[in-house]
A = this chain, B = another copy of it.
């Protein structure tokens, strides 16, 4: 080849080095035109005092090559360490996590022989913003954040993916019957963007029933797009029921940078024994070749791999007497794939990737008209040990500032004042809502003044949330209860 594309690789921990070596040998045999820059990440780097398991030089390589093939790493137990995966995804803006979950029956045992689902998981926001605060001795909190551009990017990615790979349906999972604003936004953006792809069927399921259907009848789905947490859980479910976790690769795609890996971890108890299945990382590498526009090489490698599966050359995790012909180690599996380079599978469906280099994504975000926001009140959260809601309400009622006065108190979201039930269980964490009767746009100074009065009276404020309207519509939830 007359050119070579720079790619950053990391050999990782545990089984990482073995499966990376096997993968790179296969790529070499296929004459993939790649030039590798190796970086060190993971256990040793954590232990040398880098709290995210990666050194500045490594960032520098990633930001230069913009393509990362990553073997699994071992995350040290215990506090103070940041997840390298979360860090890499978010620092580099890798917002789309793509996980094809495909069964290879009858060559790999599965209860779902015709499954072919691609899960596209939002990769940056939701509860993974990692913003946690202990509120009181009893209550801890994590923020779930969902943004409109975040939703637009991932939903558009899912529809573009479906179009590119000739898939006919995109399903969205959310829990918007409960989380009407956060998951509601995701669902709403899904409906908006679906309209731009009329040739692709679009449907939405509540995540609980959707998950049940996915686990039971995965063949009902094609592409599924989800917020981060649901995607995390359900992509593991889908990969597992398709066959082996050793058989799935994934990509993490951003506007400029992309990362490719196996979905499994470093499997320490299998490390260094020439046992591990390198297929997950190999499939990740194939996704990388497609991303780089090397569709021909990608197809060659993928088809040789399918033929190897078909021929019954299996590592321990998928070996089964009835379908396997030979039980092999990591190295021998790679040799078998190399020996089949140029062959096509005869029973499994051969792949044919187009050779189109992925352009840097210039996300088309919807142009929003300027929004008028007004503040109409504030939720003030108190740490308060006495559990008598009526007493707390009577006490707080006397404090006002400008137009702000107490309208309700909730505990864990349930209204306990006015008119609470004795059966409602109360913690030491109280949300006290102060609203401004008819006045719109309370100056923040009034909110500060109210807090000053409460503080002076001895109440312990631990957090606040403004109550806002956007273009005149209230955008905060009511209390739960009767």
Contact = CB atoms under 8 A, between A and B. Distances in A.
A168 interface: no
Contact of A133 (B368, B427, B468): B468
Q: What 8 A-B pairs have minimum CB-CB distances, sorted nearest first?
A: A129-B413, A134-B475, A212-B240, A132-B181, A212-B236, A208-B236, A215-B215, A137-B371
A124 B237 contact: no
Contacts of A145: 135, 139-141, 412-413, 429
Interface stretch (A86-94, A192-200, A389-397): A86-94
Given A127-B175, A133-B465, A133-B466, 7 more contacts: A93-B425, A137-B371, A140-B146, A140-B475, A141-B181, A150-B427, A233-B233
Contacts of A2: none
A90 B178 contact: no
A455 interface: yes
A476 interface: yes
B481 A429 contact: no
Complex copy number for this chain: 2
A107 to B, nearest CB: 18
Contact of A139 (B147, B424, B445): B147
Interface of A: 52, 54, 56, 59, 63, 75, 79, 82-83, 86-87, 90-93, 95, 111, 124-125, 127-150, 153, 175, 177-182, 184-185, 207-209, 211-213, 215-216, 229-230, 232-237, 239-241, 245, 254-257, 368, 371, 373, 379, 383, 410, 412-414, 421, 423-425, 427, 429, 431, 444-445, 448, 451-452, 455, 460-468, 470, 475-478, 480-482
6 contacts: A83-B178, A92-B424, A133-B477, A141-B146, A143-B143, A463-B466
B229 A213 contact: no
A412 B379 contact: no
A93 B56 contact: no
Nearest to A56: B482
A388 to B, nearest CB: 16
Main secondary structure of the interface of A (DSSP, over half): mixed
B177 A90 contact: no
Given A147-B427, A215-B240, A451-B448, A134 B178 contact: no
A467 B133 contact: yes
A90 B462 contact: no
A137 B470 contact: yes
B215 A241 contact: yes
B144 A141 contact: yes
B134 A468 contact: yes
Contacts of A215: 215, 237, 240-241
A2 to B, nearest CB: 30
Contact of A477 (B125, B131, B230, B451): B131
Given A140-B182, A145-B412, A233 B213 contact: no
Contact of A86 (B139, B209, B480): B480
Given A464-B463, A481-B90, A423 B63 contact: yes
Contacts of A482: 52, 54, 56, 59, 87, 91
Contacts of A125: 412
A468 B462 contact: yes
A186 B143 CA distance: 17
Nearest to A428: B147
- By CB atoms of chain B within 10 A, which of A124, A134, A429, A481 has the most? A134
A178 B127 contact: yes
Given A133-B468, A143-B143, A465-B133, A95 B425 contact: yes
B423 A256 contact: yes
Given A179-B132, A212-B236, A463-B466, A147 B412 contact: yes
Given A133-B476, A475-B133, A480-B90, A181 B140 contact: yes
B87 A480 contact: yes
A401 B466 CA distance: 22
A115 to B, nearest CB: 12
B465 A463 contact: yes
A230 B237 CA distance: 13
